[in-house]
Structure formats: C-alpha cells, structure tokens
Chains A and B, each alone.
Chain A
Amino acid sequence: MAKVATKPVRIVVAKVGLDGHDRGVKVVARALRDAGYEVIYTGLRQTPEMVVDAALQEDAQVIGLSIHSGAHMTLFPAVVDELKRRDATDIIVFGGGIIPDDDIAALKKRGVAEIFTPGTPLQDIVDWLRKRFPEETR
C-alpha cells in the first residue's frame, strides 16, 4: 500500500575529513535513494562548514557523515557545532565509519543522533530514518 506523499525527506551525505574511502558512503547513499529518500552526495573532503552549507542550500532535514580516518571525534562534533552556530539544530546528524564503541557514546552526548558501524544492515539505517520521519517518507 502506497503511503500518501507529503514531503520527501532530503538527506545530505558527506565524506568529512581527508580520507577517500567512499565505498560505504556510496552504498548507503544508493540504499537510501532506493528506499525513497532524496539523497545529495557531496563528494570527498568536505569541511564541517561545507557540509552545513550544503544541507542549508539543499533544505535537508538530515546529514549523514562518513569517515574512516579516525578523525570522527573532531569532525562529527564540529558539524553539530556549525549547525548550532548557523541556528539549524533542527537538522539531524548521523554518521558511520570505523568508530569504536566508547566513541559512539561520546558522540551521542555531543549531539550526533546515531552512529552505524561496519556490518550494519542497510535496512537498519532505513528503519531508523522511518522512525524519525514516520509521516514524511514517500
């Protein structure tokens, strides 16, 4: 049964930091697109400022961040802070990559809504988004 279309959720997915490992971000971007979300992929080496710029320009409700270099403790909170600075805290930030458990708890305290680590089924990410935006998908 098709849901009544209200407003498609727009998601900016971005690679922050210097590493170029884009396998995960591309797989997730495709899966989200296939699930009916509007996905904007920024490409590589985005600074927190660039990511927030893109999210505001694209009128996105969600930012998905990917990193594999180990700089997540610096760069994920930097995106959250930049959203605060730009008065855009209604935009939800989630992330993925090589992120140890202890760091996940710390990142959530710093305002990152969810972290998905390697091995997460794509469906889990989609389910999580559906829960956050029950009305608005498709």
Chain B
Amino acid sequence: MKVRARDAKEAWKEEFESSPARDDGLETSSISGIPLQPLYTQDDLARREQEYPGQFPYTRGIHPSGYRGRLWTMRQFSGFATAEETNRRYKYLLANGQNGLSVAFDMPTLMGQDSDAPTSRGEVGHCGVAIDSLADMETLFEGIPLGEITTSMTINSPAAILLCMYIAVAEKQGVPASKLGGTLQNDILKEFIAQKEFIFPPAPSMRLVVDSIEYCAREVPKWNTISISGYHIREAGSTAAQELAFTLADGMAYVDACLERGMHIDDFASRLSFFFDAHIDFFEEIAKFRAARRIWARWMRERYGAQQQRSWKLRFHTQTAGVSLTAQQPELNIARTAIEALAAVLGGTQSLHTNAMDEVLALPTDRAARIALRTQQLLAYETGVANTIDPLGGSYFLEALTDEMERQAEAYFKRIEEIGGVIPAIEVGFFQKEIADAAFRYQLELEQKRRIMVGVNDFTVDEEEEIEILRIDPRLESQQSKRVREVRRKRDQAQCTNALNQLRRAAAGNDNLMPYLLDAVRAYATEGEIMQAMIEVFGTYTETAVV
C-alpha cells in the first residue's frame, strides 16, 4: 500500500510539472509572502496527537461545543458625531439583532483632548463619538441597561478614564461594577508599534494598564481588561505572521508587567483578550487564528505556569480588514468582507465586526451598516458553517500552514528577546521598521501587478458610480465645545479641583490610580483635564519617525 501511495504521488508530481502553468505573472505565495506548495498531502502533517476543541492546546477552539453551544457575538463597532446621535444608532443596532455594543471614539477623545482644545479643530465627532466628560457618557448610554449588555470600548492612552466613566454611568443606573461585562482595548504597546495614539512614555503607560488590570481583577471581575490587538499592526502593513508574533509578544509583556506588580497569573490571565484582523488571504488567516490559540496556551501553561485552564485559552475578537477595501467599485467590499468574515468564523472567533462597504470613504451610513451586520447573520443562519466545530481541522494544507505560522512567530519571539523585550524593541523602532518594510513590499507587488486588487490595478471601470456617504455636520464642533464648557461651569468646582489634585499626587507615587480616576470622573472633571493632570507628572512621548 505504502509503495503504491508513493508511486501515485510521484506520478502526480510528474504530471504537474509537465502541465503548462498560468503565465499571468502573479505571486503564488500567500499575501504575506509564505511560499505555498501547489498541493499538500499527509506527508506535510506534523506528527501530533489527535486534538479536540476545548482541550489543550486549543488549536481547534476553546469551547468543546464550538458554535453549537453559542454563536459568535456580532459586535459592530460604531460611533460618530455626538453622544445623542450615537445613542440613537446603538438603539437601532440593538433593535436589529446586534447583541453587543462597541464604541468608536473620535480622535480628540482617543488622544485625551477636550473638544474645545485648539488641536481638536476639524476632528470633533469625525471618526467616532466625542466624549469629554461623564455627562457625555451618560447621554451615550441613556436608556441602555448596562447590566444586560456587554460593551467594548476602543480606546488606549486614556482607556482607564473611559472605563471609570462607564463604571460611573452604571452606578447611576444602579448597576454594580461587579455585574458589568465588556472589553476595554487598553493596549498601549500596539499604539507605540502601529497605531501611534500614544501620549505618555512607555513606563507610565504600562503602569496605567496594570493599574486597570489589577483594579478590575478585584472590582470588575467580568470585564476584559485589555484587548491585545493585532488588528492595527496588520492594517499598518504587517504580514500575518508579524501580526501574530507581535500581538502575542505584547500579550506576554503585559503578563510580565502584571507578575512584576505581584499579581498571580491565574488571577488575571483569563481576562486578557485578543483582537485580530481577518484579511483577504483566506487560508492564511484561518491558520493564524488556530496558531494563536496553540502558541498562547503553550506559553501560558509552560512558561508562566498558569494552573487554571481558563488562563490558557486565547479568546479573540475579529474585524475584517479595512485595508482590503477599495474606494473603487465599493460594492465589491461586501464580497470581500463576507469572505474575510467566513475566515474569522472558520478560525473560531468569539466576536466579529464586519466592515461596511463605504468605510473606505467615510463612516458607514445606516444602510451600509445594516448590510454588514446582515452578512454575519447570513453566515450564521444560512450557510451552515456553524454546525461543525473547526471544520477545516485536518486539512493537510491548513494544518501545515498553522504549523508554519507558529514557526514564524516563535522565530520573532527570539528576535524580540534578543533586543531585550518589547519596549526596547519599540524604542529602537524594530517593529515599526518590520511593518513599514512589509507594507512597502506589498505596495510594490501591486505596482508590478504581481498581486491584483480588483477594481484598483486590474478590472477597473472608467466611470465610478457614486455611493451615498455619511457627512458629519460641521456645526457639531461648536455645539460640543459649548457643551463641555457648560459642564465645567455647572460642576462643583472645589470637588473637581480637589479630585484632580489628589490624582496628581497619586500619579507621583505608587498607588493604583483607578480610585483617583473614578473620583475625578464622578466630579465631572473633563477627559482633557484628567489627562493634563497626569501629563504634568508623566510627561509625553515623541517617536523618532523612521521612513
């Protein structure tokens, strides 16, 4: 039998090699440049014990029941203009079958500035909702019972402040912090690496992250304290393997920082969550998700000695790839997003955001947002893909690619360790350069038509059809500025000043800053004022730009 199988393979190989190959000049490697064989067979499978979902190392999923137990959470990221308008959009999405909220903040909020700051001009409410103080947060969640939904908040440098605002709104609704569920992005390392929304230098930034993890472990135990993100690394141009490696390396850096604080691994590890990109190279993405679970489980158990199984399980959110979308023939983006979403589901994601077709031009309209959500519902309820757990497990190709992802990630871990760890690697620009090189390489491949983006460098049309886009009313900026000035006027000034002074003192010492931030938030100190108080102690960070 063995001999006959061998002969068959040889025969196939001969025939393959003598068959004419397409001469379109296109790359046959993955979009990340991993060379691919034309065929994978049993010979490409590593010798491994039979793996089962819900069992270490979780390659096939963290739940023994896969999506049979529970479908993924359909969580559409949204936020724009004012808190009132975004509140209306949330109620619309919840009424349309979405089961979790995900807040997008505008740039001034992400950068810790109030709407009336001079550098906020032109930015207020544009790529998310403007939140200046607890008053805005109250409006944002008006009529939405925080004890019954989960909320994800995409914010980093000022993350702890926004979490405190959420806790304070819940207090006013009569919901104790212990009942709150949700996720704070709070991943400052990938800001230094890729998205660049940093404010403080790395050390105090890490302190704030650890403060919030430590505080939540006690007070907000159902909260995912951090969403360790590869999404932004990938969107900045990295390969799939770089996304995987840099994200998990960041995860380990947070674990190290918490251990240094004196926390026990099993007290916080299960609240760490992850966030990945689902790019257009279908199989490579599925392999990436599977490899991520396997690597994390092994490191948590073997290197960090976590005892509890829940500490070993990598849970993740996925967003389809913004960079894969095109302004040209934008309806094609619906198809791209559907394929990427399918990869996320086959990779076993816990929650998913599908991009709207018009996001390459502006924030999504109601119609585009609904189509994006419906795409997920179509996957969940029409295609049948949720019926079988890890349906591609055992595929010669996919298993080999999963192993390859793991190999490449481990090689990067070694290089990062040689540089001295994640923060030293940030400071010497290691990640930034790796990502910029990969982005440039990909761009050249497009220019040389070794890769095709349909509608961009091939299959173009002369006349582009216009699609409707969402416009932010320019008057919003002055309205929101007026609103924040009103908050400053109406509050108890002495209470606010006192809270900010206490915060400043605490920042200069070693206390956990969360209780101080909560007090400042409750006293209606604005986000900008709170950040300013910390900047006075921590200073700010400027990166050396590398091209």
Contacts and interface: CB of A to CB of B under 8 A. Distances in A.
B535 interface: no
9 contacts: A17-B123, A18-B113, A26-B439, A27-B439, A44-B545, A70-B126, A100-B362, A118-B327, A119-B457
Nearest to B363: A70
B107 A44 contact: no
B360 A98 contact: yes
A26 to B, nearest CB: 5
Interface of A: 17-23, 26-27, 29-31, 33, 39, 41-45, 47, 69-75, 78, 98, 100-101, 117-119, 121-123
Q: Is the interface of B mostly helix, strand, loop or mixed?
A: loop
Interface in B296-338: 323, 326-328
B326 A17 contact: no
A27 to B, nearest CB: 5
Given A42-B545, A70-B123, A70-B472, A22 B326 contact: no
Nearest to A22: B196
A14 to B, nearest CB: 10
A123 B447 CA distance: 8
B15 interface: no
Contacts of B120: 18
Contacts of A33: 547
Given A23-B235, A117-B327, A119-B326, A69 B196 contact: no
B149 interface: no
Contacts of A17: 107, 122-123
Contacts of B195: 20-21
Contacts of B123: 17-18, 69-71, 74
Contacts of A123: 447
Contacts, number: 108
A23 B438 CA distance: 10
A23 B110 CA distance: 19
Q: Most chain-B Cβ atoms within 10 A of its Cβ — which of A22, A29, A101?
A: A22
B122 A71 contact: yes
A69 B119 contact: no
A98 B330 CA distance: 13
Contact of A44 (B360, B474, B543): B543
A100 B107 contact: no
Given A70-B126, A70-B362, A75-B122, A18 B110 contact: yes
B478 to A, nearest CB: 13
Given A18-B107, A98-B362, A73 B327 contact: no
Given A118-B327, A122-B447, A30 B362 contact: no
B427 to A, nearest CB: 15
Contacts of A39: 547
Interface magnitude class on chain B? 35 or more
A22 B119 CA distance: 19
A69 B447 contact: no
B236 interface: yes
A121 to B, nearest CB: 6
A98 to B, nearest CB: 7
B436 interface: yes
Nearest to A67: B122
Nearest to A72: B122
B443 A43 contact: no
A31 B453 CA distance: 19
A70 B127 contact: yes
Contact of A69 (B107, B198, B327, B443): B107
A47 B119 contact: yes
B436 A121 contact: no
Interface in B428-487: 435-436, 439-440, 443, 446-447, 453, 456-457, 466, 469, 472, 474
Given A71-B121, A119-B328, 19 more contacts: A17-B122, A18-B111, A18-B120, A20-B196, A20-B197, A21-B195, A23-B323, A27-B440, A39-B547, A42-B545, A44-B543, A69-B127, A70-B363, A72-B122, A100-B469, A118-B360, A119-B457, A121-B446, A123-B447
* Cβ-closest 6 pairs across A and B: A74-B122, A20-B196, A71-B122, A70-B126, A43-B545, A18-B107
Given A18-B108, A98-B362, A41 B545 contact: yes
Interface in B525-547: 542-545, 547
B237 interface: yes
Nearest to B323: A23
